[in-house]
A = this chain, B = another copy of it.
Amino acid sequence: MVDIMENKIDGSVEVPKNFYNVQCVLDVPPPKGENLKMLPKIFPKELLREEMSKDKYMPIPEEVREEMMRYRPTPLVEAVRLEKQLKLPKDVKILYKREDVSPTGSHKLNTALMQAYINNKEGTERLTTETGAGQWGSALSFACKKFELDCTVYMVRASFEQKPYRKVLMRLFGADVVSSPSSRTGYGKKVLEDNPETSGSLGIAISEAVEDALNNDNVHYSLGSVLNSVLMHQTVIGQELKEQLKRIDIVPDALVGCIGGGSNFAGFMLPFIEEKMRYKDGIDVVAVEPKACPSITKGKYEYDYGDSAKQTPMLKMYTLGHDFVPAPIHAGGLRYHGKAPILSLLANKGLVRTVAYDQKAIFDAGIAFAKTEGIIPAPESSHAIRATIDMAIEARKKHEKKTIIMNLSGHGLFDMKGYEDYMDGKLK
């Protein structure tokens, strides 16, 4: 048995000193179209430099790394209680990386800190952003408080109504939180006129946040996923994981994570991809998406806009169309029409495989995890749990030896409405 405390008590696993940039070995199709010229208006220079860079490593600024050290390295834990519940033999193992332990409850803080830091250095006064489940909005609110920026969060209406306390948390960190679509922006007004009952979407909220940044001085926009730079900031997860696995002498057979824009999963698996490309080592890299928003399993790999109002450049990605509005499932963080260009390229090359689940199946898995491991997972993370459980049971049935590592991207302590609906049989 893996010593589950190993990484909690071991001082020799360090928070990485650099971000890992997969663009050193991967030619990611660049964004294109008329809107390219707006990028310098909404993003800081340093972020745009990172976006295009081919450098393999980029140093993490000391001020950012110091903040990360408040919650990193995050523990790597063996799910011994879940394994027992699933009656797994001892050569089928489930381990998970706990990104839920950050101050705001998810991996999102990794890039929020870096983006707030860069913007502060370049003189930005306020950041605008969108949030689905609220994990990203909470992280950016906290990072803006730390690096002395104002923060406006456009929160997708479905989540705004399902998770009123996420809103309180963001306000507590000093953010201004707006239900999207809103009457604050031209695009928001238009959407509300056309469809007053809309549950909103990440695409719409992005449009509003971008419009707000474009129309105001010293205001930048911040995106919590999709961008090459954001995925790079998240590689602290995978780099730590590699070190942790080395120390306990484990070679994983599979890496599993959920995908919305794709940043937690990418940050988790990208540090393993270079070897997979080079040695074809057969590691199974599995992305899990909701059936209600099946960008990779049902979408097309083509250039599309990142937002609903077509204000952003076009990105080469798996997409359901920029005007797609997913059903208001509780995994609000996964309600995005597209996927990050890096992730899309890897999926298209067959280096990542993707599976999809419906909402009921993921809550089943999330509750099984909570009852055994004692951690309430975010509904987003429960997608990874569902796939992991199914893969472990399959290995048991086929008498295969298998070690599965899963990224627990965040906790679900603000998702109790979803759990209540599930227990009361009210889930759609």
Do most interface residues of chain A lie in helix, strand or loop, or is the interface mixed? helix
Return the CB mask of A394-419 against B: 1 if under 8 Å, else 0.
00000000000000000001101101
Choice from B142, B367, B414, B420 contacting A413 with Cβ under 8 Å: B414
Q: Does A10 contact B (CB under 8 A)?
A: yes
Measured as residues with beta carbon below 8 angstroms from the partner, the interface class of chain A is 35 or more
A374 close to B104 (CB less than 8 A): yes
A371 close to B145 (CB less than 8 A): yes
Choice from B10, B103, B165, B376 contacting A172 with Cβ under 8 Å: B376
Chain multiplicity (copies): 2
Q: Which of A69, A103, A374, A419 has the most CB of B within 10 A?
A: A374
Q: Separation in Å of the A360 CB from the closest CB of chain B?
A: 16
- Chain A contacts with B in 166-224, Cβ cutoff 8 A: 168-169, 171-174
Residues in B neighbouring A173, C-beta threshold 8 A = 370-371
Return the CB mask of A104-140 against B: 1 if under 8 Å, else 0.
1100000000000000000000000000000000000
A169 close to B9 (CB less than 8 A): no
Q: Does A49 contact B (CB under 8 A)?
A: no
Q: Does A88 contact B (CB under 8 A)?
A: no
Return the CB mask of A73-104 against B: 1 if under 8 Å, else 0.
00000000000000000000000000001011
Instruction: Decide: A423 near B11, CB < 8 A? Known: A103-B375, A416-B165.
Output: no
Q: Separation in Å of the A290 CB from the closest CB of chain B?
A: 21
B172 close to A423 (CB less than 8 A): yes
10 additional contacts (CB under 8 A) given A5-B69, A171-B420: A70-B374, A145-B371, A146-B374, A165-B413, A165-B417, A168-B417, A169-B376, A169-B413, A172-B371, A172-B423
The 4 closest A-B pairs by CB, nearest first: A103-B374, A165-B416, A9-B11, A168-B416
Please give the residue numbers on chain A whose beta carbons come within 8 Å of chain B beta carbons, in ascending order.
4-5, 8-11, 69-70, 101, 103-105, 142, 145-146, 164-165, 168-169, 171-174, 367, 370-371, 374-376, 413-414, 416-417, 419-420, 423
